[in-house]
C-alpha cells in the first residue's frame, strides 16, 4: 500500500488579499519551476474584498464605488476561473497549491474532491449539500455556501499545479454579497453555516473539519507549518 502524500498546512490567519495572493503565487511559481516539491494548503480570512475571475465582468458589481469605499472593500482582478465573488471576515478561504501527480493529475477530480470535502464536512452538522449542474461550488438548495474557483498550470514534467481554491461561508456577513451578483448568477442566493444552523460558527473549528476531510478525499497526511517561522526561513 502506498504511503499518503504529505501536505503542509499553513494557516495565515486574517490577511489582506494581495499579501496572501503573493504568498500563494510564490509557492505556485516554485512548483512550476521545479524548484521544490512541497505540497501546501494555505488557509486565510480576508478583509472585505471583491475578486473578478478570468470569465468575470465588473458589471456584476452592483454597489457604487463610493459605497464600496465607505465599507472598506477592495476590488481585484485575478487569474482564477469563475466570475465575481466576495471574500470577507467569517469566510474560510482555502488555497491548495499542489502538483497533482500524486493525485492522479486529474483537474476535474481535484475540483470534485474539493467540493466533496466541503459536502462531507457539512453533512457532519446535518446539512445536505449538493452540486448543481452547470453551477460550480457547493449548494444548499438554491443557495451557495461554498464558492470554487481554481486555476491550474502545467509544469515541465506534465504535472498540473493548482492555485486559488474554495471559499466557505462560515459566519460571513451575507449582506456584503448584496454588493455583487455572486458568480454572475442572478436567480440564486447565498448562505452560511451560521445562517443555516442559526447559531454562532467558528472559522477555526471549520478549518479543522475541512482539514480532516481534505486528508480523507486526497488520501493525504497534513503537517502544521507555522507561517511566522516559514516566512523567516524564506527571507
Q: Annotated binding site for substrate, which residues? A: 80-87, 147-149, 165-167
Candidates 90, 82, 115; CA nearest to 181 is 82
Judging by beta carbons within 10 Å of its beta carbon (0-12, 13-18, 19+), is residue 209 exposed, middle or buried?
Answer: buried
Q: Which three cell numbers stand for residue 108?
A: 476535474
Annotation marks residue 146 as catalytic: no
Task: Write the CB contacts of 94 (distance below 8 Å, at least 6 apart in sequence).
Answer: 41, 42, 43, 114, 165, 166, 167, 168, 210, 214
C-alpha distances (whole Å) from 180 to each of 30, 56, 115, 183 are 34, 12, 23, 8
CA–CA gap between residue 153 and residue 48 (Å, rounded): 28
Q: Which among 168, 183, 190, 201 is annotated as catalytic?
A: 183
Residues within the annotated binding site?
A: 80-87, 147-149, 165-167
Instruction: Tell me the three state secondary structure of residue 137.
Output: strand
Give the N- to C-terminal CA distance of the chain in Å, as an integer. Answer: 38
**Residue 226 and residue 42 in contact, taking contact as beta carbons nearer than 8 Å:** no
By annotation, the residues acting in catalysis are: 183
Amino acid at each position: 500500500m502506498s504511503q499518503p502524500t504529505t501536505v503542509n498546512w499553513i494557516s495565515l490567519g486574517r490577511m489582506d488579499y494581495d499579501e496572501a495572493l503573493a504568498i500563494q503565487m510564490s509557492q505556485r511559481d516554485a512548483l512550476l519551476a521545479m524548484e521544490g516539491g512541497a505540497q501546501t494548503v494555505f488557509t486565510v480570512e480576508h478583509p472585505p474584498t471583491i475578486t473578478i475571475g478570468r470569465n468575470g465582468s465588473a458589471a456584476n458589481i452592483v454597489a457604487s464605488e463610493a459605497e464600496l469605499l465607505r465599507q472598506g472593500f477592495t476590488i481585484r482582478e485575478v487569474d482564477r476561473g469563475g466570475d465575481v465573488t466576495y471574500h470577507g471576515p467569517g469566510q474560510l478561504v482555502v488555497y491548495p497549491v499542489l502538483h497533482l501527480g500524486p493525485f492522479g493529475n486529474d483537474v476535474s477530480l481535484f475540483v470534485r474532491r474539493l467540493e466533496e470535502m466541503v459536502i462531507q464536512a457539512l453533512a457532519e452538522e446535518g446539512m445536505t449539500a449538493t452540486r448543481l449542474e452547470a453551477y460550480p461550488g457547493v449548494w444548499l438548495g438554491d443557495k451557495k455556501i461554498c464558492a470554487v474557483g481554481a486555476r491550474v498550470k502545467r509544469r515541465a514534467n506534465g504535472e498540473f499545479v493548482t492555485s486559488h481554491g474554495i471559499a466557505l461561508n462560515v459566519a460571513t456577513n451575507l449582506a456584503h454579497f448584496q454588493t455583487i451578483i455572486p458568480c454572475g448568477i442572478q436567480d440564486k442566493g447565498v448562505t452560511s453555516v451560521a445562517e443555516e444552523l442559526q447559531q454562532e460558527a467558528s472559522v477555526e473549528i471549520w478549518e479543522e473539519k475541512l482539514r480532516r476531510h481534505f486528508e480523507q478525499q486526497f488520501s493525504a497526511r497534513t503537517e502544521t507549518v507555522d507561517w511566522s517561522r516559514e516566512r523567516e526561513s524564506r527571507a
